[in-house]
Each structure stands twice: as structure tokens, then as C-alpha cells.
Chain A
Amino acid sequence: MPEISVTVNGEPHEEAVDDRLTLADFLRERLRLTGTHLGCEHGVCGACTVIVDGAAVRSCLMLAAQADGAEVETVESLADDHGLNPLQEAFKKHHALQCGFCTPGFLMSVTAALREEPIEDADQARDVLSGNICRCTGYRGLVQAVLDAGAAK
């Protein structure tokens, strides 16, 4: 079993992992960071999106072993002791979530996108959101939340 050393939400971990263990299962089962959800396990729905070395990735399509030496950020990293971050607040304000299962993936995709460039119009927001699927909200609240958070930056 390969030994990996990975930093997750700022905390270093040294773990022996099975070759075939996915990053998603590593986060959920080994580290008990269950905010990262599995919706399709073939890379389409985006519920399992986390940030690895700055890039939004599908943790269902990446092996834990591939994360050796990487910095991983999950939804658990977003809020701090002072409460929700501005993006999370915007999600709440605009009713951008209902069942909440897809929400962590959306938050991580948008977080990565906002670090790259501001999101200024609805078309751009829809583009950023289009890598994730939500069955509950119909996306309007999500678009508004992204614009709101994009403007706040």
C-alpha cells in the first residue's frame, strides 16, 4: 500500500492507502470529512468536487494515491469561527440550496472559479455552475448567489 502525505484543509496527514481508493472515499471514510458527497461516481454531477492544489477536481475520479504531496480543500474549510464565508452567506440568502446534497460541490467549484477571475454576469455564472448538477433549485438562486459573491469580492 502506498504511503501518502497530503494536507487537507491545512492539516497534514500521513496515510497508507489502497491503490484503488478514491480521493472521495479517502476524505469521507478515512478522514471522516463527510461534506464531500458522491452523486454519480463518474464525474458528471460534480457533488464530490474539492480543490486540489488550487484546481477544482472531481474527487470520485481521482485516486487518493494521486493526492500525495497535494493540498486539498474541502467544504469543511470554508466557514471559520466567525461563521459562514461570503459565498456560503450568498447561497443562504438566495435560496441556492434545498436538499443540500449537491451544495458542497457547487461551493467548491465556485470557490475555485472566483479565485481565478471575477464573475460579472449571469451567463458567466451559469457557465461556472454548469459543471455541477442540482435537482432541487432550478439554478436561479445559484446564479444569484454567484453574482452576489462575485460582486462582493
Chain B
Amino acid sequence: MTMIGKSVDRREDDRLLTGKGRYLDDLELPGTLHAAFLRSPHAHARILAVDAAAARQAPGVVAVFSGADLPEIQKPLAPKVMHPKLKDFPRLPMPPEEVHYVGEPVAIVVAESRYLAEDALELIEVDYETLPAVASTAAALAENAPLAHSGADDNIAVTLVQRSGNTDEVLKSAPHTLSGEFFVMRGGGHSMEPRAVAARFEPATGQVTIWDTTQSPHYARQQLSVIYEMAEDDIRVIAPADVGGGFGPKAQFYGEEVVVPWVAIKLGRTVKWVEDRQENFVSTMMERSQTHRIEVGFDDDGHLLAVRDYIEHDQGAYCAGLQVPSITTSTVPGPYRIPNIHTELYACYTNMVPTSSVRGAGRPQAVFAMERMMDRVAEYLELDPAEVRRRNLIQADEFPYRVGIMFRDGSPLTYDSGNFPKLLEGTLERLGYEEARARQERARAEGRYVGIGIAVYVEGCGLGPYEGAKVRLTNQGKILVTLAAAGQGQGYETVYAQIAADALGLDMEHIEVATGDTSRIPFGQGTFASRITATAGPAVFDAALQMRERLVDTAAQLLGCDPAGLSFSGDRATLDGDPEKSMSLLDIARVANIGKHGITLPVGIKPGIETVSYFAPERAAYASGAHAAIVEVDPDTGAIDVQNYVIGHDCGNVINPRLVDGQVLGGFAHGIGNAMYEEPFYDAEGQPQAASYLDYSLVSATEVPPVELFHMHTPSPLNPLGVKGAGEGGTIPAPAAIANAVEDALRPLRARIDRAPVTPARISDAVYSAVKG
């Protein structure tokens, strides 16, 4: 292996640095009309009438459709992950009768320019009957709560219980129990490129081509083929080569993705919609808000005996899938040996933007609750928080480790590999933990509030069901690797060329990578859940190994030699290093792919050099990590100064270390946002109060503290590359680490940090409550 494991420069970079990226709104689509959506101003309302007559007459307007004008596509968008007990309310592409959150699309205007389309939005009169709304899980679960959906019995979408052992009994008999209530706020993906869809219909073939900033083009095509009642081959979904970040929300499926292409088909014109940032705030899925009521039982030494966690999950106005709360329930145990586990999930409907996965996907909340409790156990027993963790960590010789509950992929939660103690010790060592504790003592003596926070986690990643790769010798003599997976900036064109290069024994320069186009590869799932390296990676490797065999076999037939004597030099298969006895990839393509019309192939040549491989992992792989932070808190202002931060990260083998570092550090910035800044406030009526970056704080270069990152590599036994997933590890434990550090800093005041983000206002409140007693 020469390319796998190497920090190769990204081949995407040159075009992105010169303004030649091909993001959706940059694509040249002649004759395009521009769409804008009219969105509900109410969190919950009945639509009594829509009058679009004036809008239709407005300059430049080509068409206006309300939900009622498009009855043929008003079919439910299916939740991604279902459960038989889920009480599902149909999420319609553009509901004609009742809206359930501010921002839900009500009508679409198609005009000659976006300016004109937006002008016409102003002229549409909608008569609404407003209905009572709920804007938190607490409000949703309150007695006599208003109903998020008219006609529902209550606001609960589903209640799910996971059990291992006998938690109730053990909690009753445990020497010690502690309980806590923790809340993690909503947060968004905030890809810098918002969502966008463009579509063109070809009346001559009956085919529609859809450009979509999706993370999951094949999933989008599947949904559309059901809703449009069209054959999947007549729907081509292309995620452009450049998509400006995904982070989860772009893996979901939205009404706009149904309406825009349908309107393009109806009008026979190319139609494009590009979400603006204000729309992104009110219509792109979010995540995070959960309340955990967690109780732990433990012995005198701090060994965990039982954990019970009641979780309220904010599903938003509709259930786009139960993946996030399912992941939360199975992330609660983390890296610890816990003989008795009970999680109980209450997923609630509220009148806010629906929630689904955002980087971390249900894991930061579980880690927040569990890691806060580990600190509370340490405090209660007057033990060092690191020591309590050490005593409970699963040891390196215990893999595969069966936790006793199920993971969201449908398999028993089974950690494949890892070395949690070494990861924790490495992190503490780099932080200078012992010295930091001494420094904390000195600071306290001076009346300063210095704290240390640790958070350890396990992340299920590399999820099935499968991902595939197609490798072809092109007629131009190049090797083309085609993936269904759609990249959003991770560097797929580089990483998968590295993998293929090693399997082929060819230099990367002869390898091209194409991604995210349903017409190029028939099956795929999408880029989400840190899964592509562990699913598409092995598929690329295997298909490229097969390709090498085909190339060598063909060249050997043509050179009349033993394939074993051939190796690649440049783009030539060469016998024993003799340039006279060699064939280029183009020579091979000319014989086996292009051929000569009507002329018999040479004996022994197998035509059509293309190989395909699909990899279906047996179950999820588990990455792991430890974060540790030193902070100083000003109890008067609530300001947090993050003085030192260390990340220990283990995602198994690594294909391109520089890119993995980029993923972890980017995830860390997102985690710092969740820990200290990001809050999409809603008022009690469900009106969003933070719908611009003036109100919703994304971290900039001055907010992200310097961080030291180190890696361990415990290979996964579940795939031939030994890889796991790296996209979310930087995000998951950051809120827990910061909250632990802040509470540790404020321990002399006994202030409690129970909510994320940990903002100055919350710190002041906590200090005030503690001092007031």
C-alpha cells in the first residue's frame, strides 16, 4: 500500500480556489425560470383560502401554484426510519389544508427572475385560521397541551423503551443513586451553501433531470419515483460535483424537492430554486433539542451498576424519521460497562421545523447526559472524575463488546474494536492533567475559577445497508471510479482515487472519480452517519482489485505472457520491466472495449472492462474518542475562556490523515458552537426568534480555541480496510466537555450547568441560583 494512509493534496482544491467550483447555482442551465416559495407565517394554522390572481398577473411571473393546485403530488414524504408504533402525520410536499410550522411551503411562484418571483409572493393573499401551537417538548407533554396536529390524541409520536438487565431493581438496591436533568438546545446544520433544486424535463424522452444539493441522490430518486408514479430510470438525480456542505440536513428529503421538478414538468421549462438563508432558518431541518432525566446507581468505588434515562425528543412538526432519537438511546451507555440499562424515549410533535440528523445525530445529547453524570458521581464520592471514568471503561481485551441493547442499524449494539483506556490516558497526558489539577488548586486559592472537563464517547458509524462502486476502463484509457455517494466537501475525488490506486497498483493520475449521479450507478444510499469510507471504501477497493485482474489478464493475453509477470509502470502494463513488452491502458481499451466492428475478438480476451462491487457491512463499526478542556470562567460576566483543549480520536485506519484531521477539527468547531453559542430560539407560539446570523451565532475563527489533536488507530474487523467513520467525532463530546469544565470551574460556588449551549447568561443564572441557595 502506498497511497492509503498518505496526506495527499486534494484534487478538488484547484477549481474551488479559483472560483471554478460547480455548485448548483453556478450551473449553466439555459432558459431557466426561478422559483420562490410562499411560506407559512404561522406555527399552526388552517388554510381557508389562497388568492393568487394578482400574483399571476405580476411582471415576469409564469405560474403560481398553491398546494391545492397540485393535488397529484400531495402524498406523504415517508419517514426515513420507521417504527410500527410511530403515530405518523403525513408530511406533504406543500400542504393544501393545514400548516404546522413557520416556514412550511404554501405556494410556489415561478418567474423570469428570483427578484420578480419574490415580488409576486407579496401579492398572494392567504386566509389562515390560526390554531394553538406548541414550541417545546415540555409544552407538548403538559397536561391539556394544545395539539401540534389537529385531530391527534396527544403530541407523542412514539414511545420506545430499550432495556438490558433489571434497572429498576438495581436502582432500588444500589449503595448510591444520583439523578439529573439535562437539556440540549436545537441547532442547525448551517451548510454555507443553502439547499437548492433545479429541474429540466425532456418531453421527447419523458425523462426529468434534477440537480439537487442532496447528500442522498438515490434516496431522492426513490421518493420521487413513488410520488410521481414514474419509473426510476426516467428520473435522474444529480448531486453536483460541488456541494457546499451537508452536515445531515441535506440527507433528508423535503417538499421543495418534490414541488420544483413537478412544476418544471408541468411547465416544460427548466426551473430552479435556491434557498436563501432566511428560508434555511425556517425550513431546513434542525436537530438536538432533547431533555434527559437520568438516574445512575453506583457502588462506593464509583462503579456504575445501573443507568435509567427518560428522554424527551423534539421531533418538530413531522417525523422525518426516528434515526436521531434511536441513536440517542443507544449512545447513552458510551464506553462504560453498565450491567443494567433502561432508556425510555418520548418523541414529541411540536410546531417547529421538523428535526432530523445534524452532524452528531443524537449522540451529543446522550453524551452530554451521561458525561455530566460521571462528573456528578465523582463529585459525590469525592473522587477524581478521570479516575471514575477509568474504573468504568470497557477494557481493550473485551472486544467485541455486547452492550446489551440494540443499535439503530437493527443489530445488537456491539462495539467492534477500540482502546478506550489508552485513548483517555493519551488525552489526559497531552492536556497535562495532573499539573492542571494542581494549577486549578492554585487558581482557586487566588479566587479564580478554573475548571477541567472530560468527555468520552463511542460513535456508531459506517452504517449499512450497503454502498457500491463501479470501476471502468474508459475508452480514453483512464480508470473511472463511480460512486453513488455524493460528496459535500470531504474530498471524495481524492480519497477514493487513493484507495483505487492501491488496489490497482496504478498511479492516481490515471484514476478519475465521479460521484452522486443516479444515471451513472443504479444503486446507492447516500452520504450520512459517517458511513461512506467504511461502506464505499471497501467497495472501491474490491472493484479496483477486480479491475486490476481484468487489466492484467487482458494485457497478458495480448502480450502472450503470464499475468504474474506484469506490473504497471505509468499507464502501461509491462512484462518484467521491459518497455518493449508492454501495453497502455488505452491499448487495452482499444481491444477489449472499443473493438473492431464485426471483427472477432482475439482469443482469450473478455470484452467490456468494467467491474462492480457492493459492500454490505455485517453491522455498524464504532469509532471512539476523548475530549478534555481547561477553562477559566468569570462568574460575574459568565464569560468562558477555553485555555486548552485536547482531542483523542480513533476512527480505525485512516485513508488520508490530513483530510481526517480536517473532518475532526471542523466537527470540533461545530461542537464548540453547540457547546457555547448556537440557539435557534422560538417563542411560546412557535415563532422563530433567531432567523439570521445576527441572532444565531455561528463560530468564527476567533471563537474556536486552538486544539491539540492526536489519533489512535484500532482497525475495524468489519471491513477489509479497517476503517470507521470520522465526520462527527469532533462534534459529539464537545458540549459535554465544556459543560463539565465550566461546572468544575464553578464547583466552589456549587453552580449547576444543566443546559447546552453554556452561554454567559446561563452561567450567570447558575451562579445566581447557587449563591441564592
Instruction: Check A39–B666 contact: CB distance below 8 A.
Output: no
**Known A-B contacts A18-B115, A47-B192, A138-B669; A99 and B20 likewise in contact (beta carbons under 8 Å):** no
Q: Give the A-binding residues of B (Cβ under 8 A).
A: 9-10, 12-14, 16-21, 23, 25-26, 28, 115, 189-194, 242-245, 247, 276-278, 488-491, 658-659, 661-662, 665-670, 692-694, 698, 700-702, 704, 706-707, 730
Question: What would be 16 A-B contacts, judged by CB atoms less than 8 Å apart?
Answer: A28-B26, A32-B28, A35-B20, A37-B23, A39-B277, A40-B277, A42-B693, A42-B694, A79-B18, A88-B18, A100-B489, A135-B247, A136-B662, A138-B667, A138-B730, A140-B706
Contacts A98-B666, A127-B702, A135-B191 given: A76-B18 contact, CB under 8 Å? yes
Closest A-B pairs by Cβ, 9 of them? A35-B19, A99-B489, A101-B244, A100-B16, A138-B665, A44-B693, A129-B701, A34-B26, A138-B669
Instruction: For A40, list chain B residues within 8 Å (CB).
Output: 277, 692-693
**Chain A residues in contact with chain B, CB under 8 A?**
18, 20-21, 28, 32-42, 44-45, 47, 74-76, 78-79, 84, 88, 91-93, 95, 97-104, 107, 122, 125-127, 129-143
**New A-B contacts (15) at CB < 8 Å, excluding given A99-B243, A129-B702:** A33-B19, A37-B244, A38-B25, A40-B693, A42-B692, A45-B277, A91-B13, A99-B242, A100-B13, A100-B21, A101-B244, A133-B192, A135-B191, A140-B665, A141-B662
A34 and B25 form a contact (CB under 8 A): yes
What B residues does A38 contact at CB under 8 A?
Answer: 25, 276
User: What's the minimum C-beta distance from A137 to chain B, rounded to whole angstroms?
Assistant: 5
What's the nearest-Cβ distance from chain B to residue A47, in Å? 6
- A32 surroundings in chain B (CB, below 8 A): 28
Contact call B18/A136, Cβ cutoff below 8 A: no
- Report chain B residues within 8 Å CB of A135: 189-192, 245, 247, 666, 669-670, 698
Inter-chain contact A98/B692, CB cutoff 8 Å: no
Q: Is the CB of B191 within 8 A of A99?
A: yes
| Closest beta carbon of chain B to A45's beta carbon, Å | 6
Q: Is the interface of A mostly helix, strand, loop or mixed?
A: loop
B311, chain A: closest CB distance, angstroms: 27
Tell me if B700 and A140 are in contact (CB < 8 A). Answer: no
**Cross-chain contact of A92 among B13, B247, B700, B701 (Cβ < 8 A):** B13
Q: With a CB–CB cut-off of 8 A, which chain B residues contact A142? A: 701
Question: Considering the chains assembled together, what is the distance between the CA atoms of A123 and B254 in angstroms?
Answer: 41
In the complex, the chain B residue whose C-beta lies closest to that of A127 is B702
**Cα–Cα distance between A41 and B23 once the two chains are bound (Å):** 17
Please tell me if the beta carbons of B702 and A136 are within 8 angstroms of each other in the complex: no
Once the chains bind, are A133 and B693 in contact (CB under 8 Å)?
yes
Name the A residues within 8 Å of B242 (CB-CB).
Answer: 99-101
Contacts of A91 in B (CB 8 A): 13, 17
Residues of A within 8 A of B668 (CB): 138
Given the complex, which residues of A lie within 8 Å of B23, measured CB to CB?
Answer: 34, 37, 101
Contact of A84 among B18, B190, B489, B659 (CB under 8 A): B18
A38 to B194, CA, bound (A): 9
B502, chain A: closest CB distance, angstroms? 21
